[in-house]
Structure 1
Amino acid sequence: MLSIEDSIFMIIITGALIVGLLGNGFIGLVTCIDWVKKKKLTSIDYIFTSLAFSRISVICILEVDMILQIFYPDVSFASKIRVVNNLFWVLGNHSSSWFGTCLSVFYLLKIANFSHPLFLWLKWRIDRLTVPLLLLCCIISLLTFLALVMIVNSDDQLHITEEHNITELLYVSEFRQLTIFNIFGFMVIVPFAMSLISLFLLILSLWRHTKQVKHNAAGSRDPSTEAHVRAMTTVTSFVFLLFVYYLSYFLMASSYIVREKKLAVLFGETIAILYPTGHSLILLLGSNKLRQTSARMLMRVKTACMMQNLNFANRL
């Protein structure tokens, strides 16, 4: 029998799971349909698709961990099933963070205006560099994952040779595993810092552009300003949600020394799932193609429901 707290957390995170899977699944579906129709994808489509699939994996891993916390609270952090789940969390987490950073850098190079030779060189070549950059992100995430697998495996082998009583062995093993995963988890400070730099440069570019057009009749509503604002909204939401995500991760990591360990972890995971779910919804609303496609699909569903109701009424 679930407690009231467990039931509340389960309802919230399951609802977020459904919304996140639908949102990210819709992004992946739209880009795949475009690829089938046009036989090619744009740079932004590649980034959106990579983000969607990586965030689906993060959402599913968080849901699995939530189920373990609620239905199997006695499962140790160092147990095989928890270790495997956390290993894949690191993989999905790093890939999602790096893909989000690629999106931030892409918006910066496409929209911002700077005269530095290196910036101009990247700006002119960003469309050709997008796929290689995404592949590089995959390689970095995979190497991080493999390094973590080898460390965890060697750590397990070390425990087998050590002489401890079973209680002490489980405690030491759990503490070591937690420390290892924390170190690898916080390595995403690099893509986070790159996204912050991209946001700062976008703000600087907008400020310079606003000064240049302040006497223009178009004022602050010219296309370049609006493009800056849209890009800044997307990048700011990514940086903010990623920051909140890692605050929740810090809460889950510190739960080891908290009395109400289970409650702290459940609360942290409930906050954490806002990142892969919330930012994908912002991408849906911020992309004209995705927004228009979703509006058309909703209209078709509405029309189909109306026709079905009409047919049912005629039968009566």
Structure 2
Amino acid sequence: MSSAADSISIILITGEFIIGVLGNGFIGLVNWVDWIKKKKISTIDCIITNLVLSRICLISVMVLNVILIVLYPDVYTKRKLKIVICTFWTFANYLNMWFTTCLNVFYCLKIANFSHPLFLWLKWKTDTVARWILLGCFAISSLVGLIVPIVLSCDYKFHATAKHKRNITEMFHVSKMPSFKPLTLFNLFAIVPFIVSLISFILLVRSLWRHTKQIKLHATSCRDPSTEAHVRAIKTMTSFIFFFFLYYIISLWVTFSYLITKYKLAMVFGEIIAILYPLGHSLILIIFNKKLRQASVKMLTCRKIACMI
């Protein structure tokens, strides 16, 4: 990479880091203050707070990765450091995606209306189910976080041993191995939370369609609270699906970037685009969440008054 490209990359990644940490930190701070005032925290606030904390960790790891690639490429080639970064990135990545899925499932259970007995039971137990899902998300992410360093260490040892072997046939097979790294498998498994979120989204859209149909039959107003709740949740989940799809494609791009000639440029470009997901979706949450939106307007108003004084 040229010095100009390095400078631009550092400027962009620094800007994204500041916006991402401030945006997610603002959400966490508002929920924390509300928790202190009310002496309790709602399920939705608990999910969102855990989500933004995981996103701050994810953004920090991604930014650190870019800085090491651009400014300290020699340090990044060290095996142990690479394993540590990959482990933390995978753990934060899984936490982020599963917590977002938990949020989407919560929206679906809380807002959608279906007459199926199982759905009615889940809806009745929404808070309990959501908290168990939250614990399950953390357990899955922790398990993956423990497996990743073991798998990567074994993979590095395998290739280190293979390099010393003189058997031409074995060396031929070993040379094919880098085309599918172990980390690629973990990235492919990340499609599972996306599928769960997509199912929740489809159920919510179907529920809105049925609700709108009933409204038309009874000739009532379309601006009822249930319809508005459906629309807000669908907008939030639509933004998530868009950002997640972009993030997932870019994550695969970064994973397979070692096959590209300009490896470092591809990785840096991928990381810069990927950060738009934990950054952009959190800003969408602020816009569509009434409490967060009011808190942001209040903060901006107070800041404007302070500047005038």
Q: Is the pair's TM-score, using the shorter chain for normalization, greater than 0.5?
A: yes
Return the offset for 1:77.
5.5
Gaps of at least 5 residues in structure 1 are: 308-316
* Number of the residue aligned with 1:151: 151
Distance 2:179 2:90 in 1: 13
Question: For 2:20, what is the secondary structure of its paired residue?
Answer: helix
Deviation at 1:119, TM superposition (A): 0.3
Instruction: Please tell me whether the aligned partners of residues 179 and 259 of structure 2 are also in contact (alpha carbons under 8 angstroms).
Output: no
Question: 2-side partners of 1:2 and 1:295: how far apart?
Answer: 42
Instruction: Judge conservation of contact 2:243–2:276 (CA < 8 Å) in 1.
Output: yes
1:310 paired residue number: none
Pick which of 288-297 and 277-286 moved more.
288-297
Deviation sequence 1:54-80 (CA, Å, 0-9, x none): 000110011011101111234556622
Deviations 1:216-270 (A, max 9, x none): 5544322211111110111111111111001111211221111121111111111
> Hey, what's the Cα distance between the residues in 2 that align with 1:59 and 1:251?
18
- Comparing 94-103 with 149-158, greater Cα deviation is found at 149-158
C-alpha distance in structure 2 between counterparts of 1:79 and 1:264, whole Å: 20
**1:259 counterpart SS class:** coil
Letter in 2 for 1:187: F
What is residue 225 of structure 1 aligned with on the other side? Answer: 227
Contact in 1 for aligned 2:13/2:272 (Cα 8 Å): yes
Residue 19 of structure 2 corresponds to: 19
1:77 touches 1:178 (CA, 8 Å); kept in 2? no
SS at match of 2:222: helix
Q: Residue by residue, what CA displacement relative to the aligned partner does 1:134-191 show, whole Å, maximum 9, x if unpaired?
A: 11110110011111122223334445655529xxx9xx79x65971111112211111
In structure 2, C-alpha distance between the alignment counterparts of 1:178 and 1:138, rounded to whole Å? 27
Matched, 1:244 2:246: yes
> In structure 2, what is the equivalent of residue 66 of structure 1?
66
Provide the rounded CA distance (Å) in 2 between the counterparts of 1:159 and 1:15: 38
C-alpha separation between the residues in 1 aligned to 2:207 and 2:24? Answer: 30
Structure 1 pair 188–77 and aligned structure 2 pair: CA distance change class (3 A): farther
What corresponds to 2:292 in structure 1? 290
The partner residue of 2:256 within 248, 254, 257 is 254
> Identity over the aligned pairs, expressed in percent?
51
Q: How do residues 188-203 of structure 1 correspond to structure 2 at under 5 angstroms?
A: 188-203=190-205
Spell out, residue by residue over 1:78-121, the C-alpha distance to the aligned partner (whole angstroms, 9 max, x if none).
62222211110000000110000001100000111100000000
Q: How many residues align?
A: 302
Partner of 2:139: 139
Aligned to 2:105: 105
Letter of the aligned partner of 1:138 in structure 2? F
Q: 1:200 to 1:77 in 2, by over 3 A?
A: farther
Q: Distance in 1 between matches of 2:252 and 2:159?
A: 26
* TM-score, normalised via structure 2 length: 0.91
Structure 1 vs Structure 2 CA RMSD: 2.3
**CA–CA distance in structure 2, aligned partners of residues 251 and 177 of structure 1:** 13
Matches within 5 A, 1:1-316: 3-75=3-75, 79-158=79-158, 161-162=161-162, 164=164, 179-307=181-309
Q: 2 CA distance for matches of 1:141 and 1:121?
A: 27
Letter in 2 for 1:208: R
Q: Contact conserved, 2:187 with 2:252, CA < 8 A, in 1?
A: no
SS of corresponding position for 2:125:
helix
Q: Look up the SS of the partner of 1:221 in the other structure.
A: coil
Residue pair 2:84, 2:149 contacting (<8 A) in 1 also? no
Q: Which amino acid aligns with 1:297?
A: M
Distance 2:286 2:237 in 1: 14
